[in-house]
Amino acid sequence: MSGTMTATDAVGFMVAIMIFSLVIMALSIGNAVFWGLAAYDDAKAKNNNDALMWGLLVGFLGWIPGIIYLCLRNKGINKMIYCPNCQFIHRIVEPNCPNCGIQNQFAMPYLTPMNAEYARKAKRNLIIGIVLCALCVIAVIALVIYFVFFAVQIAEYSGSYSYSYYW
């Protein structure tokens, strides 16, 4: 860098910071939306009646409700039932009794094409959320690097300003 800091440089710096901020903001919002959608779709896939609540909580509040959701998400499908035929205790989502093999009618609402579709969407939204999260981190790192380079440039400029008396 030559030792001249012009007004154009300062304007360029401010514009760059503004663009960085907008990109980071957009990525953060997109990130929140897709994590919220992923939680909603995952809850729907598991016939959770609070799917909307979880989607909103994760979308607006982020990782804390996200972790709570992860701990609770399989509660519904892990519910234990008695086989009406042999009294064997098994998970409600088993399509057949693991003991006697009789068809488990209670599993039917969990195994519809809708459940599979929601599970597919949850996976897709989760991947998009992870990608946006990574891009957001990269944008923040780029902003920091840009900031440091600009600060170094100013420092060099101030340095050359004082040296200029010597010639």
Closest distance of CB 76 from Zn ion, Å: 21
Of the residues 9, 33, 81, 88, which one makes contact with Zn ion according to CB under 5 A: 88
Among 37, 97, 107, 136, binds Zn ion (CB under 5 A): 97
Is residue 107 a contact point for Zn ion (CB under 5 A)? no
- How deeply is 151 buried, as exposed, middle or buried, from its count of CB atoms within 10 A (0-12, 13-18, 19+)? exposed
| Cβ burial 40-59 (10 Å sphere, 16+ → b, else e) | bbbbbbbbbeebeebbebbb
Which residue in the set 86, 111, 137, 141 belongs to the binding site for Zn ion (CB under 5 A)?
A: 86
Choose the stretch contacting Zn ion; rule: CB under 5 A; options: 33-41, 59-67, 79-87, 119-127: 79-87
Nearer to Zn ion, 86 or 151 (CB): 86
Per CB under 5 A, 85 contacts Zn ion = yes
13 binds Zn ion (CB under 5 A): no
What is the closest distance, in whole angstroms, from the C-beta atom of residue 108 to Zn ion in the complex? 16
Interface residue with Zn ion, options 18, 72, 100, 111 (CB under 5 A): 100
Stretch that binds Zn ion, among 65-73, 86-94, 132-140, 143-151 (CB under 5 A): 86-94
How far is residue 82's CA from residue 70's CA, in Å, rounded to a whole number? Answer: 26
Look-up: residue for tokens 């009794």?
97
Q: Which amino acid is at 55?
A: G
Determine contact, residues 41/118, Cβ cutoff 8 Å.
yes
**How much of the chain is in helix, strand and coil states, percent to nearest 5?**
70, 5, 25
Which of 71, 80 has the CB closer to Zn ion? 80
* Residue 113 and residue 40 in contact, taking contact as beta carbons nearer than 8 Å: no
Binding residues vs Zn ion (CB under 5 A):
83, 85-86, 88, 97, 99-100
